[in-house]
Amino acid sequence: MSRAEMDARGWEELDVLLITGDAYVDHPSFGAAMIGRVLESMDLRVGIVAQPDWKSPDAIQVMGRPRLFTGVTAGNLDSMLSNYTAARHKRKQDVYSPGGAPGRRPNHAAVVYSQLARRAFPGVPVILGGMEASMRRVAHYDYWEDKLRPSILTDSKADLLVYGMGERAVRIIAARLRDGNPDLTGIPGTARLLGGKATAAADFSGCVVLPSWEELQADKQLLLKLTRVTEAQQTPYSGKRLVQMHGGRAVWMEPPALPVDGAELDELYEYPFQRLAHPSYREPVPGFATIKDSVIVSRGCAGGCTFCGLGLHQGKFLSSRSVDSVLKEVRRMADSEDFRGTVSDLGGPTANLYGARNGHTEACHNCHRPSCLWPTICPHFGIDPAPGLEMLRGARQVPGVKHVFVQSGIRMDVAVRTPEYMKELVTHHVSGHLKVAPEHLHPDVLRRMRKPAGDFPAFMEQFHEMSAAAGKEQYLVPYFISSFPGCTEKEMGVVEDFLKRERWNLQQVQDFIPLPMTASAAMYVTGLDINTGKPIPVVRNAGDREKQKRMFRPNQPTARRPAGNPLDTVD
């Protein structure tokens, strides 16, 4: 992170410079750390500038000009989500900054950092990556600015955008540039903004042409079509190249990269991560404290929920580490001096889909459904609880480990179909409270979320029965979303009535945020159902949104408080 550290290692120059909007934490949950370790495995010299002062190029010139390229990421979250709440108020804390200090990353950080890199290092390729770049690769709606924005490539002036999990793409990029080959075309999981001449000469046959930026500005209803088409082509096996015109220039998107799996996935998580924040920080990074003693065991999200960007970023095809690799990491954690005996999480996007399989049949390769689990679980989706049971039981046997908890999300429709796994979870791996995410209870709202209806009551009953059988007093902490497209006070009444019956007052709730490129954002903007194309009501007024939030606390005497007293929220 500094010239002094370079000198200590005998480096005269960097091969690659990475700029990130997060603090530098050397843990595989942090994107810049993972990409840095991948490049290091190629014997490249990597520098990381974390949360630089974006007002001057000097802030990113501290280690000199990189030889190959500058990589840019806004961080683990979209910078606008990091900076602003659902009510569009500035956040009081940034959990990915030392001390939780807000204001250390700019709005639209990926754009700002890219432009900064252009000024600081003329002629050095700029490569965009991370969640913000991934979810803004096409024209999209920005909730916090309440307007449509063009592809992030048009504003950032980056040479290439890597979307999704970027380990494979970054290896190809680095290898080509190291070998003196500046051609960055044809790399799966990347997008480029073609120049005017290149656009005019391009052959778009075999490509899917999306509604253009100009067409979207003239008719925002086209955002629904854009979203449907983009979701349908989000498969590495049969997805086509996508093209979106911005004036006389084309954003050209290659099909997604194949998921990293097997020994290749194990290798990524066995790089020599220090599992520490950089020693230059004098204050802890709150976001790191919550995952410090956790282990990522899988990738990908097969749910396709319309409010979530994971499926569009990590992809819907699942990959799981081997049990041996996971236990090796647990043993390394247990051997560290600051380990206190508790593994806080063995998880990923969905904890109980570890070991599940999709993408392994020809039918999967030709499938363009955004979800493998909705409206029903696909018959080709392979659910196998055995690897998960082996992993959980093995982790408990590691010397020095007292507790192993599962804090990542649980897919309830899968859990009720795998009672042996459920029993193991409830008996040994719940810390007293298990977080679950029914999201809503009204069937029409759930359908627009692409979530199954009716599973939560069955899951509740099973959880409480198994907890009682294990002699444990344990509780569920449910997570619901208010003001989702198509949800009025009438639909929220179903949730309110349920909470009254169960005598629950939720302490953490989510006021809906339409994230860029998601199907829920398309519904929010157009007022049309993503599944049917029919009109639906959309709550946009702050007062109406506040009324729905207050319905999460029906048993509290002050629940019917006046608008303007916001409830606690989490994102």
464-511 pLDDT, tens digit per residue, is 999 999 999 999 988 999 999 999 999 999 999 999 998 887 867 899
Q: Convert the pLDDT of each residue in 384-436 to its tens digit.
A: 999 999 999 999 999 999 999 999 989 999 999 999 999 999 999 999 999 89
Query: Would 340 be classed as within a structural domain?
Result: no
For residue 301, with 0-12 CB atoms within 10 Å meaning exposed, 13-18 middle and 19 or more buried, which class applies?
Answer: buried
Q: Which of 189, 210, 231 is the last residue of a domain?
A: 189
Which pLDDT belongs to residue 554? 84
* Contact between 164 and 260 (Cβ < 8 Å): no
Strands (E), 28-90: 46-50, 69-73
Residue 569: the pLDDT is 36
- C-beta separation of 297 from 346 below 8 A: yes
CATH number, domain with residue 167? 3.40.50.2300
pTM: 0.94
Q: Percent of the chain scored above 90 by pLDDT? A: 92
Cβ atoms of 371 and 304 closer than 8 Å: yes
Residue-number span of the structural domain to which 27 is assigned: 3-189
Residue 280 lies in a domain: no
Q: How many domains does the chain have?
A: 2
Tokens at 505, concatenated:
């007052």
Considering the domain boundaries, does residue 438 fall inside one?
yes
Q: In terms of Cα–Cα distance, which of 296, 352, 278 is closest to 165?
A: 296
Antiparallel, parallel or unpaired: β 208-209 and 276-277: unpaired
559: amino acid identity, one letter: A
pLDDT confidence of residue 563: 32
Question: Can you list the residues of the chain whose pLDDT is less than 50?
Answer: 558-571
Angle, helix 167-178 to helix 31-40, in steps of 10 degrees: 40
Amino acid 566: pLDDT: 27
User: Of 189, 221, 242, which closes a domain?
Assistant: 189
- 388 located within any domain: no
Q: Is 57 domain-assigned?
A: yes
- Per the domain annotation, does 69 fall within a domain? yes
The closest alpha carbon to 308, from 137, 509, 527, 514, belongs to 514
Neighbours of 477 (CB within 10 A): 14
Q: What is the radius of gyration, based on Cα positions, of the chain? A: 23
Instruction: For residue 415, give both structure tokens.
Output: 């859990």
Secondary structure percentages of the chain, helix, strand, coil, to 5 = 35, 15, 50
Beta-carbon contacts of residue 461 (< 8 Å; ≥ 6 apart): none
- Boundary of a domain, candidates 140, 169, 189: 189
Under DSSP, is residue 154 helix (H, G, I), strand (E, B) or coil? Answer: helix
The answer to the question of residue 562 being in a domain is: yes
Residue 454: the pLDDT is 85
In a domain, 347, yes or no: no
| Angle ∠(161,164,167) on CA atoms, nearest 5 | 85
CATH number (domain holding residue 511): 3.30.750.200
Q: Which of 51, 165, 72, 179 is nearest to 117 (CA)?
A: 72
